[in-house]
């Protein structure tokens, strides 16, 4: 599998040079190139790359700050600085940059960075696989030990979430998300698993709702309903037409 990378570099000549060097590697895929920070962070959020090659001196923005924003999107994204300034090296490694390449760079130096990136990706993949195994093992334990807790993944750790703190579960991009008041986690369990375990209401094929966390209910269209949850965002959950009757029976409306 290729390593997806984004280049954020305001100098087009440097960007092209880096691009042509990186494209020599069969296991590196450049999925995007931009010259400014706004487009850069939007592209990171959209494409979720595994690595970002970043100029530290991007106009109208601090490259260190941009790297922090990238890490906020996904802490596992490898940030590799490519810059003419050596004075930011300490700050770069404080925010866990994978590498710091000084311009003008050589093919040999880029090759060293790529090898470091490959090693990082392999280690990270191994950690994720082990974490997934742990979560699966936890889910397979006797029910009496985990009845009120849902194991969730958060930045490489397992968080045990109290069922009563969950507002709803939802599916997006084939992943199951756990929505608390102001936090969202990921769980390896399916909605069907969570429905059996929690007794939550299946409002829609993609949503499982804690009825105790509903703030408002209103009719929508074609016989469907919408639920307004009591979380701080007042999240809206659709109720499919086939589940409206069951909802009415449960809450006596």
C-beta of residue 169 within 8 angstroms of C-beta of residue 200? yes
Other Cβ atoms closer than 10 A to 216: 11
Contact (CB, 8 A) for 202 and 157: no
Q: How many residues belong to the chain?
A: 253
Could you list the pLDDT tens digit for every one of the 253 residues in the chain? 899 999 998 888 888 999 999 999 999 999 999 988 888 899 999 999 999 999 887 666 678 888 999 998 888 999 999 998 888 889 898 999 999 999 999 999 999 999 999 999 988 877 777 777 777 776 666 444 546 889 999 888 899 999 999 999 999 988 999 999 999 999 999 999 999 889 999 999 999 999 999 999 988 888 889 999 999 999 999 999 889 989 988 888 7
Q: At what angle do helices 63-73 and 37-47 cross, to 10 degrees?
A: 20
Which tens digits make up the pLDDT trace of 115-132?
999 999 988 877 777 777
Q: What is the predicted pLDDT for the residue at 212?
A: 94
Of the CA atoms within 13 Å of residue 160, those in its CB half-sphere come to 8
Instruction: Go through the domains of the chain in sequence order and give each one's CATH number.
Output: 3-128 (3.40.50.2300), 148-251 (2.40.50.1020)
d(Cα 54, Cα 66) in Å, to the nearest integer? 9
Residue 139, token pair as written in the block: 């889910």
* pLDDT for position 60: 62
CA distance 102 to 86: 7
- HSE, side-chain direction, 13 A CA sphere, residue 159: 17
Distance CA 239, CA 241 (A): 6
CA distance 23 to 5: 11
Query: What would the pLDDT profile of 52-107 be if each residue is shown by its tens digit?
Result: 999 887 666 678 888 999 998 888 999 999 998 888 889 898 999 999 999 999 99
CA–CA separation, 153 vs 159, rounded Å?
Answer: 6
Residue 86 confidence (pLDDT): 86
In 3-state terms the chain splits into helix, strand, coil percentages (rounded to 5) of 40, 30, 30
Question: How many angstroms separate the most distant Cα atoms in the chain?
Answer: 72
Token couple for 92: 């770069």
Return the pLDDT at 123. 84
């Amino acid at each position: 599998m290729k390593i997806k990378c984004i280049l954020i570099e305001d100098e087009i000549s440097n960007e092209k040079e880096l691009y042509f060097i990186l494209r020599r590697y069969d296991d590196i895929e450049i999925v995007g190139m931009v010259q400014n920070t706004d487009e850069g962070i939007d592209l990171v959020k959209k494409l979720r790359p595994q690595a970002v090659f970043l100029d530290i001196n991007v106009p109208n923005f601090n490259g260190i700050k941009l790297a922090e924003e990238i890490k906020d999107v996904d802490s596992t994204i490898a940030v590799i600085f490519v810059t003419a300034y050596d004075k930011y090296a300490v700050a770069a490694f404080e925010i866990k940059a994978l590498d710091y390449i000084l311009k003008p760079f050589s093919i040999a130096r880029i090759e060293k960075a790529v090898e470091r990136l490959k090693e990082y990706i392999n280690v990270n993949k191994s950690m994720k696989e082990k974490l997934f195994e742990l979560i699966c093992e936890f889910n397979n334990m006797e029910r009496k030990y985990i009845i009120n807790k849902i194991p969730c993944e958060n930045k490489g750790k397992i968080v045990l979430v109290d069922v009563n703190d969950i507002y709803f579960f939802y599916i997006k991009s084939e992943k199951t998300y756990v929505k608390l008041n102001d936090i969202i986690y990921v769980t390896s369990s399916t909605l069907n698993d969570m429905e059996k375990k929690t007794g939550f209401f299946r409002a829609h094929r993609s949503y499982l709702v804690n009825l105790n966390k509903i703030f408002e209910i209103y009719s929508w269209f074609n016989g469907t309903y919408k639920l307004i949850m009591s979380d701080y965002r007042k999240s809206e959950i659709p109720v499919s037409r086939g589940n409206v009757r069951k909802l009415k029976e449960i809450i006596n409306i």
